[in-house]
Amino acid sequence: MVIKQRARNDEDKTARREHILDTAVRLWDERPYDELTMSDLAKTVGLAKGTLYLYFRTKEEVFVAVLERLLWTWFATVDERLDAKEHAAPGEVADLLADTLRGQERMVRLLALLNTVLEQNVNVEVGLKFKADLAERLAITGARLARLLPGLDGPRVLLHMNALVIGLFTVTAETPALKAARDHESLRHLAMDFDTELRFSLAALLGGLTQEV
C-alpha cells in the first residue's frame, strides 16, 4: 500500500511538473521572456508561489527544463533521420539537420538564451545535470553523424552547429531596420533568411571538415 501510494504521489508530481512547463510555454508565447514572472506562472497554474518553488527555484530553472524537453525530442528526431540514411554526402546531411529545425523556433530561442540568461540563475547541481545529460545526447547523436561522415568528431560538429544556429538566429531576427533594408536593393543582402543561411553554413562546415579528414 505504501509503495502504491508513493508511486501515485510520484506520478502526480510528474504530471504537475509537466503542467507547469506547459503553462510556462503558453505564457511565453503571449509575452516576452523578461516580462514573465514566477508569480504569473504560479497564479496561472493555480499554485501558491511557495509550492511552485518546490518544483523550480527560479524562472530560469523552469525554462532550462522546457529546453530539455525540446532538445531531447529534437535529438530523437535527428537520430531517426540519420539512421534512415545508408550513405549521404555532406550537403545532404546539412539539409537533413536544417530540416529538423523547421518549426523549432522555441528551442532555438531558448538556445540563444541558455548561456547568457538561463544558466546564469540556476542551481549548480541543476546546471551540471543538464550539461551531463546534454553530453550524453551529443555522444549518441554524434556517433550517428560520424557513421555517415567517417572521421568527423560528431559531438564537436553538433556543438559547432549550435553556435551557428544561435549566431544566425540573432543576426536574422526581424528588426525595424532590417525590415526596411529589404526595400532597398543595395541593402537586401543584409536581410538574411535563417533557414537559407543555416543550410549554406552547415554545408560549408561539413564539407570543409570532410575534406580535412
Q: What is the DSSP string of 95-108?
A: HHHHHHTTT-HHHH
**Least confident segment among 37-41, 65-69, 141-145, 180-184:** 180-184
HEC readout, 146-180? HHHCCCCCHHHHHHHHHHHHHHHHHHHCCCHHHHH
- Taking the C-alpha atoms of residue 115 and residue 112, their distance in angstroms, rounded to an integer, is 7
> In this model, does residue 177 exceed pLDDT 90?
no
Average pLDDT over residues 54-73: 98
- Taking the C-alpha atoms of residue 202 and residue 196, their distance in angstroms, rounded to an integer, is 10
pLDDT of residue 176: 83
Between these two residues, 8 and 182, which has the higher pLDDT value? 182
CATH superfamily, region 59-210: Tetracycline Repressor, domain 2 (1.10.357.10)
pLDDT of residue 2: 38
CA nearest neighbour of 201 among 101, 121, 134, 118: 101
> Predicted confidence band at 6 (pLDDT cuts at 50, 70, 90)?
very low
CA nearest neighbour of 165 among 157, 175, 174: 157
Answer yes or no: pTM beyond 0.75. yes
CA nearest neighbour of 54 among 66, 42, 70: 42
Q: Is the dihedral of CA 20, 23, 29, 35 positive or negative?
A: negative
Average pLDDT over residues 191-199: 92
pLDDT of residue 7: 39
> In this model, does residue 60 exceed pLDDT 60?
yes
Per the prediction, the chain carries an average pLDDT of 92
CA nearest neighbour of 126 among 189, 63, 204, 180: 63
> Predicted confidence band at 8 (pLDDT cuts at 50, 70, 90)?
low
pLDDT of residue 11: 85
Percent of the chain with pLDDT over 90: 81
Helix (H, G, I), strand (E, B), or coil: what is residue 87? coil
What would the grid cell of residue 96 be? 537533413
**Tens digit of pLDDT for each residue in 18-44?**
999 999 999 999 999 999 999 999 999
Give start-end residues of each CATH 1.10.357.10 domain in the chain: 59-210
Average pLDDT over residues 81-101: 97
- Taking the C-alpha atoms of residue 95 and residue 100, their distance in angstroms, rounded to an integer, is 9
Q: Which CATH architecture has domain 1-56?
A: Orthogonal Bundle (1.10)
Helix (H, G, I), strand (E, B), or coil: what is residue 184? coil
What would the grid cell of residue 56 be? 523550480
pLDDT of residue 5: 44
Give start-end residues of each CATH 1.10.10.60 domain in the chain: 1-56
